[in-house]
Amino acid sequence: MSDLMLLSLLCSKLCHDLVGPISAIGNGVEILEDEDDPEMRQQAVELLAHSAELAANRLKFMRLAFGAAGGEGVAINLTEARRTAEDFLADGRGELDWPVSQDEENLGLDKAGVKVLLNLILIANDAIPRGGFVRVELKRGESGGPPVIHAAVRAEGSGARLGEGVELAFDAASAGEGLNPKSAPARLAADLAASFGATVSVMPRVDAVELLVDLVPAG
């Protein structure tokens, strides 16, 4: 699979997630143009404000997850990453549970590590169509080997399961056949993890799916 094809699928995912709030903005503008009733106009203003905030939150999240934010190899503040994820999930199906660790600032991941983590959060959120929780846990490795951060992202909710083709997309060695906009973030996460010698493991549970990967701190 070419980088261009992956890029196209990620763009499709971005467009899919933005079409709702942008369409709502258009509806709000139409109401303002056609309505004289003060109450209806106030509702339209509230719709515009909410939809604009939703679109901005999704753009900010995907810029960090898919794009070149932060610069090559630069450590990205985990507090910023958590806040971006919280805003992204605030109006979605999942609620973020990402506790603050005492040594969080010292865990600083490089850009690739943060992008892997955010893409796993995106995939976990898509895995709970009936709502639930997206839980994130980061723990520094205790072994005497190279520095590593054990990351676990867990989707919990009734009927939680990965979308079509997502688990296969985590296999960075696969040809990428059948990749689609919903599974493209999994392939991006797998490719980024492979760049520092890691793989993403999928652990299915009852009404839950856990995604595990070892990330590297910024050097």
Can you give the CATH number for the domain in which 18 is found?
3.30.565.10
Rounded average pLDDT over 15-38:
87
pLDDT tier at 4, thresholds 50, 70, 90: confident
Question: 174 falls in which pLDDT band (50, 70, 90)?
Answer: confident
What is the per-residue pLDDT for 183? 93
Question: Angle between the 78-89 and 38-66 helix axes, to the nearest 10 degrees?
Answer: 140
Print the domain residue range for 27: 3-215
Strand residue runs (E) in the chain: 94-97, 132-140, 149-156, 201-205, 208-215
Q: At 204, phi and psi to the nearest 5?
A: -75, 140
Total count of domains within the chain: 1
